[in-house]
C-alpha cells in the first residue's frame, strides 16, 4: 500500500499564514465598552458591590460567562472560574491532610489551588458555573463556600465576591433542582439576551457593568443603613407572614423566597441603593432576587407609599375603598387583602375580597391579579358556592373553574 505524506507546515509561508490567522482571530475579539443601562445589569452591580452571592439564571449561550469576564475586568479583579458540575464534594469541603501531630493539631482540610490563589490575592471574583448541574452532594458542599466563605480549612478574604450561574433544569446538562438551603443563600437574577445589546457587542461595543457610586461620607452611609432598617422592619411588622415563607414546590424552593437570611440580604441591598441613589427599578430587581417577587414587590410598594389601603378597611368596604392604579401597588394591595382573609377566613370576608378582585380586573391587566386570585380561590370552603363577583373576570375564569 502506498504511503501518503502530508507536508508539515514548517515553511515561512505556512507560519506566516498561521500568524495571520491568529491575528485575525484576535481582531474579532477586540471590543470597547460603554456603561450598561439595563436594570438587571445594574442590579448585578448593586449586589456585587454589596458583596452578596449572586446567581444568574439563563439559557445556555446567552453570555452569562462572558458577563462575568467583563465584570472582573471592569473591576480589576482576578477571576477564578470553577465548573461546579465536574467537581467532587471534597473539592469544596477540602481533602484531609495528616500533619506531624494529628492528635494535637487535628487533620487539616486542604483547599484547591483556585482558593489558595484568591486567598493570596486578598480579593477577586469567584465564578461558580453550572451549579444546577451539580449533584446534591456537591451542592451541600457549596453551602459553606457560599455562606461562610470557607473552602476546606481556608477562609476566603472579604474582598472576594461570589457569582454563580445556572441553567434551568430543563436545559441543563443532567440538571437538578437547586437545593433550598443553597438557593436561599443567593440573590437570583434572570439573565436574558437583549438583541440590541448583542448587535452592539458584535459591532465592537459591549456593556460595562459599573459599580454604584456610593456617597462616602459617614453621615450618609449611617443614614442609609438606618433608613433601610426602618423600612424593612416596618414592613415585616405589618406583614409578619413574610418573615419566613418557604414555597411548597421544589421549583419554588430553588429560587428566591423570604427568610430571615434573605431579609438581611434585602436590607443590605436597600442600604446600598439609598447610599448610591441607585435606579429604583434596579434596586427592586435585586431585592426581588433575594426575597422573591411577591415579598419584594410588596416591600417596594410599602416603602414608596406607606399609606397603602389597610386590608381590613378594604374588606369592610370593598366597593368604596380607594385603590391604587399602578401595577406593583395593585399587587401589594390585593396580596395583603388575601393574606388578611387567610388569617380570618369567613364567607363574608372571602366574598368581599372577590368584590375587590372584580374592581381591580376592570382597571389593570388580569395577569397582575392571577397569583393572589389563585390563593383566594384556594381558600374557598367546600360548602361555599362560587362568588357572584367571579363572573366576567375573563382570563381568570378558567383558572377559577379549576378550583371548583
Q: What is the pLDDT of residue 10?
A: 58
3-state helix, strand, coil in the chain (%, to 5): 55, 10, 35
Spell out the SS3 assignment of 257-280: CCCHHHHHHHHHHHHHHHHHCCCH
Cα 227 to the chain's mean position, in Å? 23
Q: What is the pLDDT of residue 265?
A: 97
Same domain, 163 and 260: no
pTM of the model: 0.70
Same domain, 280 and 373: no
Instruction: Give dist(CA 190, CA 347) in Å, integer.
Output: 39
Same domain, 176 and 229: no
Q: What is the pLDDT of residue 400?
A: 47
Long-range contacts of 351-354 (CB under 8 A, 24+ apart): 351/387, 351/389, 352/314, 352/315, 352/316, 352/318, 353/315, 353/318, 354/387, 354/389, 354/390
Q: How many domains does the chain have?
A: 3
Q: What is the pLDDT of residue 267?
A: 95
Which cell is 79 given?
477571576
Instruction: Give dist(CA 153, CA 146) in Å, integer.
Output: 14
Q: What's the Rg (C-alpha) of the chain? A: 26
Comparing C-alpha atoms, which of 326, 274, 324, 328 is closest to residue 298? 328
For residue 60, CA distances in Å to 93, 198, 324 come to: 28, 15, 40
Instruction: Give dist(CA 87, CA 94) in Å, integer.
Output: 12
Residue 201 inside a domain? The answer is: no
Q: What is the pLDDT of residue 159?
A: 92
Residue 333 inside a domain? The answer is: yes
What residues are paired with 27 via a beta bridge?
A: none
Query: Residue 68 maps to which CATH number?
Result: 3.40.50.300
CB 93 within 8 A of CB 144: yes
Instruction: Give dist(CA 389, CA 226) in Å, integer.
Output: 44
Same domain, 319 and 282: no
Residue 206 inside a domain? The answer is: no
DSSP line for 95-152? EEEE-S-HHHH-EEEEPPHHHHHHHHHSEEEEEEE-GGGS-HHHHHHHHHHHHT-EET
How big is the CA angle at 386 (ends 383 and 392), to the nearest 5 degrees? Answer: 180
CB 87 within 8 A of CB 200: no
Residue 191 inside a domain? The answer is: no
Q: What is the pLDDT of residue 301?
A: 85
Residue 351 inside a domain? The answer is: yes
Cell 390563593, residue located:
375
Same domain, 137 and 88: yes
Q: Return the biggest CA–CA distance within the chain.
A: 97
Residue 148 inside a domain? The answer is: yes
The phi, psi pair for 232, rounded to 5°, reads -65, -45
Same domain, 93 and 164: yes
Range of the domain at 331: 311-401
CB 297 within 8 A of CB 81: no
Residue 356 inside a domain? The answer is: yes
Instruction: Give dist(CA 274, CA 220) in Å, integer.
Output: 9
How big is the CA angle at 154 (ends 152 and 155), to the nearest 5 degrees? Answer: 120
Instruction: Give dist(CA 117, CA 127) in Å, integer.
Output: 14
- pLDDT by residue for the chain (404 residues), tens only, comes to 555 555 555 567 888 888 889 888 888 876 666 666 788 888 999 999 999 999 999 887 777 777 788 788 878 889 999 998 888 888 888 777 766 666 666 667 788 899 999 999 999 999 999 898 888 888 888 988 998 898 988 899 999 999 999 887 665 555 678 889 999 999 999 987 777 777 777 777 766 777 788 888 888 888 888 888 878 887 887 788 899 999 998 889 999 999 999 999 999 999 999 999 999 999 999 999 999 999 999 899 888 766 567 788 889 998 888 887 777 678 778 888 888 888 889 999 999 998 888 888 877 777 777 778 888 888 888 888 877 777 656 555 554 454 44
Q: First and final CA of the chain: distance in angstroms?
A: 80
Instruction: Give dist(CA 1, CA 120) in Å, integer.
Output: 60
Same domain, 70 and 164: yes
Which cell is 58 given?
439563563
Instruction: Give dist(CA 212, CA 41) in Å, integer.
Output: 11
Residue 301 inside a domain? The answer is: no
Domain final position from 131, 166, 185: 185
Amino acid at each position: 500500500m502506498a504511503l501518503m505524506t502530508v507536508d508539515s507546515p514548517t515553511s515561512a509561508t505556512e507560519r506566516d499564514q498561521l500568524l495571520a490567522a491568529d491575528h485575525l482571530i484576535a481582531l474579532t475579539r477586540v471590543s470597547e465598552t460603554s456603561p450598561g443601562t439595563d436594570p438587571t445589569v445594574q442590579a448585578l452591580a448593586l449586589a456585587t458591590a454589596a458583596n452578596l452571592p449572586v446567581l444568574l439564571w439563563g439559557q445556555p449561550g446567552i453570555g452569562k460567562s462572558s458577563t462575568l469576564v467583563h465584570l472582573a475586568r471592569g473591576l480589576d479583579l482576578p477571576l477564578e472560574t470553577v465548573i461546579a458540575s465536574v467537581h467532587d464534594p471534597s473539592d469544596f469541603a477540602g481533602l484531609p491532610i495528616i500533619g506531624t501531630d494529628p492528635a494535637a493539631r487535628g487533620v487539616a482540610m486542604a483547599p484547591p489551588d483556585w482558593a489558595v490563589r484568591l486567598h493570596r490575592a486578598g480579593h477577586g471574583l469567584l465564578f461558580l458555573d453550572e451549579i444546577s448541574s451539580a449533584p446534591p452532594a456537591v451542592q451541600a458542599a457549596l453551602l459553606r463556600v457560599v455562606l461562610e466563605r470557607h473552602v476546606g480549612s481556608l477562609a476566603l478574604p472579604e474582598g472576594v465576591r461570589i457569582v454563580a450561574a445556572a441553567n434551568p433544569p430543563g436545559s441543563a446538562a443532567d440538571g437538578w433542582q437547586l437545593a433550598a438551603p443553597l438557593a436561599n443563600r443567593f440573590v437570583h437574577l434572570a439573565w436574558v439576551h437583549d438583541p440590541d445589546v448583542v448587535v452592539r457587542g458584535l459591532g465592537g461595543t459591549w456593556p460595562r457593568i459599573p459599580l454604584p457610586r456610593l456617597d462616602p461620607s459617614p453621615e450618609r452611609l449611617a443614614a442609609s443603613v438606618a433608613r433601610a432598617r426602618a423600612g424593612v422592619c416596618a414592613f415585616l411588622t405589618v406583614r409578619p407572614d413574610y418573615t419566613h415563607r418557604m414555597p411548597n414546590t421544589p421549583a419554588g424552593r430553588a429560587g428566591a423566597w423570604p427568610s430571615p437570611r434573605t431579609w438581611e440580604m434585602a436590607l443590605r441591598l436597600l442600604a446600598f441603593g439609598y447610599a448610591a441613589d441607585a435606579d429604583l427599578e434596579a434596586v427592586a430587581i435585586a431585592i426581588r432576587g433575594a426575597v422573591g417577587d411577591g415579598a419584594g414587590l410588596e416591600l417596594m410598594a410599602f416603602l414608596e407609599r406607606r399609606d397603602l389601603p389597610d386590608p381590613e378597611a378594604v374588606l369592610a368596604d370593598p366597593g368604596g375603598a380607594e385603590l391604587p392604579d399602578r401595577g406593583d401597588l395593585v399587587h401589594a394591595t390585593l396580596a395583603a387583602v388575601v393574606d388578611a382573609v387567610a388569617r380570618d377566613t369567613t364567607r363574608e370576608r372571602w366574598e368581599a375580597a372577590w368584590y375587590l378582585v372584580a374592581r381591580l380586573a376592570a382597571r389593570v391587566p388580569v395577569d397582575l391579579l392571577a397569583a393572589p386570585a389563585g390563593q383566594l380561590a384556594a381558600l374557598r370552603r367546600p360548602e361555599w358556592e362560587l362568588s357572584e363577583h367571579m363572573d366576567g373576570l375573563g382570563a381568570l375564569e378558567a383558572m377559577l373553574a379549576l378550583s371548583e
